[in-house]
Chains A and B, each alone.
Chain A
């Protein structure tokens, strides 16, 4: 059995229950390579102008961009991370598809 509380410490009297949520539209854009995941801020963001792709680098390093605020990852790079992932989808009252996702694991 497994239970996960995402991204918050306990600051209250009763169990805290959390969700990390993005719109399905953005999630699909990320999967299609149109957005990047900022793994520090846990937000989907546009490609920076000076983003360097793997085939454009001399040493053929993994495709990544580091801007000092955190590592930006494509969907494929995120999947490659050696951590477990979780995923959920639901529909809002207005009909929007919303996605909750994340990874957890040990970096050290």
Chain B
């Protein structure tokens, strides 16, 4: 496990390793940052998938963000992680140039794509990985095939994204015992996600009840199981561990060490589902302080 970077943020030190492992540490009883460790960035609203539960409402009419001319990028600290998404981020025509700029600034870029785009664009994604333009790769999965599993196994830094209440038992079990990493996302009853939920609450009920019960067993069948904050609440993940373990494991509320920026609409917020949004400024620290004060 090689060390990618080491830095000081506020009153604590951070180490980040080649497999994504991150360690925050100090001798105090609190970890208080000065700038965001992770930023979720929406770079496009364009997507041809039309997923019925997409909380971003992305479509083929969606536009790309102006990602090469936003000054706040110059104020990011080295080894900040960016989770680039959309829409379909790999359809953005300026993606490679943007990633090269981030690499020069020692920013760790991670990208999330849909499984269809992952398969279709595998050579391009392989290029981004081999050039170290991206490190983590999220792949949103709803239907599991042997071809998909084989491709997912090629890169140890791939994390499979599944949505609580959407992924079916039969599909998730196909991924068991394949040495894979999974990120469970909470279900966002937001935009198209609300429409899908209202139409398919019976399906949601079956899928979510199964995962809630299965979770402790499920965890044994993946190399790593991870959660976003919404999934932690919906799945009551805290029931799985002691208070001490929870304190070591829980990486913070939305907006505590993280924030969200929509480069299409030029807005920022604590997370992608926050309705408290403000216009992007040219300084990441200023924006982060506003987000933290909102919390």
- A residues at B contact (CB < 8 Å): 1-23, 41-43, 86, 88, 90, 92-94, 96, 98, 100, 102, 104-108
Contact = CB atoms under 8 A, between A and B. Distances in A.
B238 to A, nearest CB: 11
State the majority secondary structure of interface residues on A.
Answer: loop
Contacts, number: 189
B127 interface: no
B110 interface: yes
B25 A1 contact: yes
Given A2-B23, A41-B223, A88-B241, A13 B251 contact: no
A28 B115 CA distance: 37
Contacts of A43: 179, 223
Interface residues of B, number: 76
State the majority secondary structure of interface residues on B.
Answer: mixed
A82 to B, nearest CB: 13
10 contacts: A1-B24, A3-B25, A3-B248, A3-B249, A8-B183, A9-B108, A11-B112, A13-B40, A96-B220, A100-B245
A3 B220 contact: no
B170 to A, nearest CB: 20
B45 interface: no
A28 B281 CA distance: 54
Contacts of B228: 12-17
Given A12-B40, A22-B220, 4 more contacts: A3-B31, A90-B242, A93-B213, A94-B217
